[in-house]
Structure 1
Protein backbone atom coordinates (compact mmCIF):
# COMPACT_ATOMS: atom_id res chain seq x y z
CA UNK A 1 0.00 0.00 0.00
CA UNK A 2 1.41 3.37 -0.99
CA UNK A 3 1.92 6.24 1.46
CA UNK A 4 -0.76 8.45 -0.13
CA UNK A 5 -3.28 5.60 0.08
CA UNK A 6 -2.37 4.94 3.73
CA UNK A 7 -2.79 8.64 4.52
CA UNK A 8 -6.16 8.76 2.73
CA UNK A 9 -7.46 5.70 4.60
CA UNK A 10 -6.12 6.97 7.90
CA UNK A 11 -8.04 10.22 7.50
CA UNK A 12 -11.18 8.29 6.62
CA UNK A 13 -10.74 6.03 9.64
CA UNK A 14 -10.30 8.96 12.01
CA UNK A 15 -13.54 10.49 10.73
CA UNK A 16 -15.52 7.25 10.90
CA UNK A 17 -14.50 6.69 14.54
CA UNK A 18 -17.47 8.92 15.46
CA UNK A 19 -19.98 6.64 13.74
CA UNK A 20 -22.09 4.28 15.93
CA UNK A 21 -20.75 0.74 16.25
CA UNK A 22 -23.46 -0.84 14.12
CA UNK A 23 -22.45 1.45 11.24
CA UNK A 24 -18.69 0.66 11.41
CA UNK A 25 -18.75 -1.83 8.48
CA UNK A 26 -19.33 1.16 6.19
CA UNK A 27 -15.71 2.22 6.62
CA UNK A 28 -14.58 -1.30 5.67
CA UNK A 29 -16.83 -1.22 2.62
CA UNK A 30 -15.44 2.15 1.51
CA UNK A 31 -11.85 0.89 1.90
CA UNK A 32 -12.68 -2.26 -0.04
CA UNK A 33 -14.20 -0.18 -2.84
CA UNK A 34 -11.09 2.01 -2.95
CA UNK A 35 -8.80 -1.04 -3.00
CA UNK A 36 -10.73 -2.56 -5.93
CA UNK A 37 -10.15 0.55 -8.06
CA UNK A 38 -7.50 -0.10 -10.74
CA UNK A 39 -3.99 1.34 -10.16
CA UNK A 40 -4.98 2.79 -6.78
CA UNK A 41 -1.50 2.00 -5.35
CA UNK A 42 0.18 4.23 -7.91
CA UNK A 43 -2.05 7.26 -7.35
CA UNK A 44 -0.89 10.33 -5.47
CA UNK A 45 -2.95 11.78 -2.64
CA UNK A 46 -4.31 14.50 -4.94
CA UNK A 47 -5.38 11.89 -7.50
CA UNK A 48 -7.14 9.92 -4.75
CA UNK A 49 -8.97 13.06 -3.66
CA UNK A 50 -9.89 13.82 -7.27
CA UNK A 51 -11.15 10.28 -7.87
CA UNK A 52 -12.97 9.59 -4.59
CA UNK A 53 -13.40 13.00 -2.98
CA UNK A 54 -12.08 14.56 0.21
CA UNK A 55 -12.33 12.20 3.21
CA UNK A 56 -14.37 14.83 5.06
CA UNK A 57 -16.82 15.07 2.17
CA UNK A 58 -17.24 11.28 2.09
CA UNK A 59 -17.90 11.26 5.83
CA UNK A 60 -20.38 14.16 5.79
CA UNK A 61 -22.16 12.73 2.76
CA UNK A 62 -22.54 9.44 4.60
CA UNK A 63 -23.82 11.21 7.72
CA UNK A 64 -26.36 13.20 5.72
CA UNK A 65 -27.50 10.20 3.65
CA UNK A 66 -28.01 8.01 6.70
CA UNK A 67 -29.56 10.69 8.89
CA UNK A 68 -27.13 10.05 11.73
CA UNK A 69 -27.11 12.42 14.66
CA UNK A 70 -24.39 14.95 15.07
CA UNK A 71 -22.69 15.18 18.48
CA UNK A 72 -24.80 18.26 19.27
CA UNK A 73 -28.02 16.36 18.57
CA UNK A 74 -26.82 13.47 20.76
CA UNK A 75 -26.35 15.91 23.64
CA UNK A 76 -29.83 17.31 23.05
CA UNK A 77 -31.22 13.78 23.25
CA UNK A 78 -29.37 13.11 26.49
CA UNK A 79 -30.70 16.36 27.99
CA UNK A 80 -34.22 15.31 27.04
CA UNK A 81 -33.71 11.96 28.77
CA UNK A 82 -32.40 13.68 31.90
CA UNK A 83 -35.29 16.17 31.88
CA UNK A 84 -37.89 13.43 31.52
CA UNK A 85 -36.25 11.36 34.26
CA UNK A 86 -36.19 14.30 36.67
CA UNK A 87 -39.81 15.13 35.84
CA UNK A 88 -40.90 11.54 36.52
CA UNK A 89 -38.99 11.52 39.83
CA UNK A 90 -40.66 14.77 40.90
CA UNK A 91 -44.09 13.37 40.05
CA UNK A 92 -43.35 10.21 42.04
CA UNK A 93 -42.26 12.35 45.01
CA UNK A 94 -45.56 14.28 44.86
CA UNK A 95 -47.59 11.07 44.76
CA UNK A 96 -45.67 9.59 47.70
CA UNK A 97 -46.10 12.81 49.69
CA UNK A 98 -49.84 12.89 48.93
CA UNK A 99 -50.22 9.27 50.04
CA UNK A 100 -48.25 10.02 53.21
CA UNK A 101 -50.43 13.03 54.06
CA UNK A 102 -53.61 11.04 53.42
CA UNK A 103 -52.37 8.23 55.65
CA UNK A 104 -51.48 10.61 58.49
CA UNK A 105 -54.85 12.35 58.17
CA UNK A 106 -56.69 9.03 58.52
CA UNK A 107 -54.49 7.94 61.39
CA UNK A 108 -55.09 11.09 63.42
CA UNK A 109 -58.83 11.16 62.88
CA UNK A 110 -60.62 11.46 66.21
CA UNK A 111 -63.91 9.72 66.69
CA UNK A 112 -66.36 12.05 68.32
CA UNK A 113 -69.32 11.22 70.37
CA UNK A 114 -72.24 13.48 70.43
CA UNK A 115 -73.45 14.07 73.96
CA UNK A 116 -76.84 15.64 74.49
CA UNK A 117 -77.52 17.39 77.70
CA UNK A 118 -81.12 17.85 78.60
CA UNK A 119 -82.40 20.04 81.39
CA UNK A 120 -85.47 19.12 83.33
CA UNK A 121 -87.55 22.06 84.33
Structure 2
Protein backbone atom coordinates (compact mmCIF):
# COMPACT_ATOMS: atom_id res chain seq x y z
CA UNK A 1 0.00 0.00 0.00
CA UNK A 2 3.04 2.26 -0.18
CA UNK A 3 3.48 4.47 -3.20
CA UNK A 4 6.90 4.09 -4.83
CA UNK A 5 8.44 6.84 -6.90
CA UNK A 6 11.67 7.39 -8.75
CA UNK A 7 13.76 10.51 -8.19
CA UNK A 8 12.04 12.29 -11.07
CA UNK A 9 8.49 11.21 -10.13
CA UNK A 10 8.09 9.66 -13.58
CA UNK A 11 7.00 6.14 -14.37
CA UNK A 12 8.79 4.94 -17.50
CA UNK A 13 6.77 1.75 -18.01
CA UNK A 14 8.23 -1.62 -18.97
CA UNK A 15 11.97 -1.83 -19.45
CA UNK A 16 14.67 -4.45 -19.31
CA UNK A 17 16.43 -5.07 -16.01
CA UNK A 18 19.66 -3.97 -17.67
CA UNK A 19 18.21 -0.55 -18.44
CA UNK A 20 16.58 -0.31 -15.00
CA UNK A 21 19.96 -0.87 -13.35
CA UNK A 22 21.78 1.52 -15.67
CA UNK A 23 19.32 4.36 -15.05
CA UNK A 24 18.76 3.42 -11.39
CA UNK A 25 14.97 3.07 -11.39
CA UNK A 26 13.31 2.21 -8.08
CA UNK A 27 10.04 0.77 -9.34
CA UNK A 28 11.62 -2.12 -11.30
CA UNK A 29 13.79 -2.89 -8.26
CA UNK A 30 10.76 -3.13 -5.98
CA UNK A 31 8.81 -5.23 -8.49
CA UNK A 32 11.78 -7.57 -8.89
CA UNK A 33 12.12 -8.04 -5.13
CA UNK A 34 8.43 -8.84 -4.90
CA UNK A 35 8.69 -11.33 -7.81
CA UNK A 36 11.87 -12.99 -6.52
CA UNK A 37 10.62 -13.02 -2.95
CA UNK A 38 12.26 -12.16 0.32
CA UNK A 39 13.45 -15.72 0.98
CA UNK A 40 15.51 -16.01 -2.20
CA UNK A 41 16.69 -12.41 -1.84
CA UNK A 42 17.85 -13.07 1.71
CA UNK A 43 19.69 -16.22 0.60
CA UNK A 44 21.47 -14.23 -2.14
CA UNK A 45 22.43 -11.42 0.23
CA UNK A 46 23.77 -13.91 2.77
CA UNK A 47 26.07 -15.37 0.09
CA UNK A 48 27.41 -11.83 -0.35
CA UNK A 49 28.26 -11.45 3.34
CA UNK A 50 25.12 -9.51 4.26
CA UNK A 51 23.43 -11.43 7.04
CA UNK A 52 19.77 -10.52 6.81
CA UNK A 53 16.68 -12.63 7.39
CA UNK A 54 13.85 -12.78 4.90
CA UNK A 55 11.52 -11.44 7.59
CA UNK A 56 13.62 -8.27 7.76
CA UNK A 57 13.17 -7.48 4.06
CA UNK A 58 10.35 -5.26 2.87
CA UNK A 59 9.51 -3.65 -0.46
CA UNK A 60 11.71 -0.67 0.40
CA UNK A 61 14.65 -3.06 0.86
CA UNK A 62 14.89 -3.17 -2.93
CA UNK A 63 16.01 0.45 -2.84
CA UNK A 64 18.45 0.08 0.04
CA UNK A 65 19.20 -1.66 3.31
CA UNK A 66 21.36 -0.76 6.27
CA UNK A 67 24.83 -2.18 5.56
CA UNK A 68 28.31 -0.93 6.24
CA UNK A 69 30.51 0.41 3.46
CA UNK A 70 32.76 -2.60 4.03
CA UNK A 71 29.85 -5.02 3.49
CA UNK A 72 28.71 -3.12 0.42
CA UNK A 73 32.18 -3.03 -1.13
CA UNK A 74 32.73 -6.74 -0.47
CA UNK A 75 29.33 -7.65 -1.92
CA UNK A 76 29.83 -5.55 -5.05
CA UNK A 77 33.32 -6.97 -5.53
CA UNK A 78 31.75 -10.40 -6.08
CA UNK A 79 30.37 -9.13 -9.39
CA UNK A 80 33.87 -8.10 -10.53
CA UNK A 81 35.31 -11.38 -9.21
CA UNK A 82 33.17 -13.47 -11.55
CA UNK A 83 30.59 -14.28 -8.87
CA UNK A 84 33.01 -15.25 -6.10
CA UNK A 85 32.63 -13.54 -2.72
CA UNK A 86 35.69 -12.91 -0.59
CA UNK A 87 35.23 -11.95 3.04
CA UNK A 88 37.21 -8.77 3.66
CA UNK A 89 40.60 -9.40 5.25
CA UNK A 90 42.68 -6.78 7.01
CA UNK A 91 45.93 -8.70 7.14
CA UNK A 92 47.72 -10.06 4.08
CA UNK A 93 50.92 -11.09 5.82
CA UNK A 94 52.80 -10.85 9.10
CA UNK A 95 56.57 -10.81 9.31
CA UNK A 96 57.79 -11.70 12.78
CA UNK A 97 60.92 -10.23 14.36
CA UNK A 98 62.90 -13.36 13.43
CA UNK A 99 62.06 -12.83 9.74
CA UNK A 100 59.41 -15.54 9.40
CA UNK A 101 56.60 -14.53 7.06
CA UNK A 102 53.06 -15.76 7.60
CA UNK A 103 50.87 -15.12 4.55
CA UNK A 104 47.09 -15.16 4.58
CA UNK A 105 45.17 -15.70 1.39
CA UNK A 106 41.41 -15.37 1.50
CA UNK A 107 39.35 -18.22 0.14
CA UNK A 108 36.31 -17.22 -1.83
CA UNK A 109 32.91 -18.83 -2.05
CA UNK A 110 30.62 -18.97 -5.05
CA UNK A 111 27.90 -16.37 -4.48
CA UNK A 112 26.33 -16.43 -7.94
CA UNK A 113 26.74 -17.89 -11.38
CA UNK A 114 29.49 -16.41 -13.54
CA UNK A 115 26.83 -15.41 -16.04
CA UNK A 116 24.98 -13.39 -13.40
CA UNK A 117 28.17 -11.56 -12.44
CA UNK A 118 28.89 -10.89 -16.11
CA UNK A 119 25.44 -9.46 -16.75
CA UNK A 120 25.78 -7.11 -13.77
CA UNK A 121 29.20 -5.82 -14.81
CA UNK A 122 28.38 -5.69 -18.50
TM-score, with normalisation over the residues of structure 2?
Answer: 0.28
Bigger strand share: 2
| Greater relative contact order (CA < 8 Å, ≥ 6 in sequence) | 1
